[in-house]
């Protein structure tokens, strides 16, 4: 764990194991768990740690607050571009899809843009019914490019068109109907539902889980490998455009 008192940045992602479940918790409330360089780096490291952890058979990704993930860190992107960041998020989605252990996501509240890519890459996604999702890229002159690799694999084509082109908010219940999440339950039942699913998954044999996941995700991984570089290039190009920069600057100003 990074020690904030030692003059380094505090840890943004935490790791713990209990009852064969490795729980990875996003904890960057200052930017609503945006996918900053530090957060993605730590998330990747903890996913790899979980993959190697003999005490863990299942991986759960959650947040410490109601917001699961607000997507790309626009402050970083507006000043540094997305050339490296886009490829990093492609690699993150691939890592989740290819990890030898099932990955479960739990979200109580908001999931936006790139955060939806994490949910879509997971094997099982559980949401509160009244949680909110939005593919907001279109509102900023961008496109859901890098996360289309996983999101459009999960969602029905009609639902993908509606949410990607509209950029409007939809609920956890709608996300389940669209195929984006596995199931949506009342918020007060979310913890119990996730615990039940993780406990069930943990009864699987390691080899059975690994090989079953490889079969299930074969087409998804092939999609990421075939289109990942193109989508990363597209994302970086759009982030660098004048239209997107103006929109991001205006958005960040409104936030302040």
Average pLDDT over residues 179-189: 98
Residue 245 confidence (pLDDT): 84
Query: What's the number of domains the chain is made of?
Result: 1
Per-residue pLDDT band for 76 (boundaries 50, 70, 90) equals confident
In this prediction, residues 180-202 reach a mean pLDDT of 98
pLDDT at site 83: 84
User: What three-state secondary structure class fits 181?
Assistant: coil
199, 104 contact by CB (below 8 A): no
What's this model's pTM, rounded to 2 decimal places? 0.93
Range of the domain at 128: 4-255
**Residues 71 and 248: beta-carbon distance below 8 Å:** no
CB-based contact 22:15 (threshold 8 Å): yes
Residue 132 pairs in a beta bridge with 171
Strand partners, 126: 106, 183
Q: What does the pLDDT look like over 222-237, one tens digit per residue? A: 999 999 999 999 999 9
- What's the pLDDT at 249? 78
Question: Order of strands across the sheet with 132-134?
Answer: 111-112, 132-134, 170-171
Q: What is the pLDDT of residues 109-154, one digit of tens each?
A: 999 999 999 999 999 999 999 999 999 999 999 999 999 999 999 9
Tell me if 203 sits within 8 A of 57, measured CB to CB: no
CATH number at residue 197: 3.90.226.10
Q: Give whichever of 83-87, 192-196, 248-252 has the largest mean pLDDT.
A: 192-196
């Amino acid at each position: 764990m990074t020690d904030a008192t030692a003059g380094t940045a505090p840890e943004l992602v935490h790791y713990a194991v209990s009852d064969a479940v490795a729980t990875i918790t996003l904890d960057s409330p200052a930017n609503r768990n945006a996918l900053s360089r530090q957060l993605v780096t730590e998330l990747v490291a903890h996913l790899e740690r979980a993959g190697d952890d003999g005490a863990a058979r299942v991986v759960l990704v959650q947040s410490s607050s109601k917001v699961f993930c607000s997507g790309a860190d626009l402050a970083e992107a507006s000043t540094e571009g997305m050339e490296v960041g886009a490829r990093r998020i492609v690699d993150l989605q691939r890592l989740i899809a290819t990890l030898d252990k099932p990955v479960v996501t739990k979200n109580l509240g908001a999931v936006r843009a790139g955060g939806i890519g994490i949910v879509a890459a997971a094997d099982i996604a559980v949401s509160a019914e009244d949680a909110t999702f939005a593919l907001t890229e279109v509102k900023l002159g961008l496109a859901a490019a890098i996360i289309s690799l996983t999101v459009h694999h999960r969602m029905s084509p009609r639902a993908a068109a509606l949410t990607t082109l509209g950029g409007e908010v939809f609920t956890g219940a709608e996300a389940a109907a669209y195929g984006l999440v596995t199931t949506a339950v009342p918020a007060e039942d979310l913890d119990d539902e996730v615990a039940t699913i993780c406990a069930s998954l943990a009864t699987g044999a390691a080899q059975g889980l690994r090989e079953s996941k490889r079969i299930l995700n074969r087409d998804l991984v092939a999609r990421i490998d075939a289109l990942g570089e193109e989508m990363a290039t597209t994302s970086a190009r759009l982030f660098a455009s004048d239209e997107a920069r103006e929109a991001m600057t205006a958005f960040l100003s409104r936030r302040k």
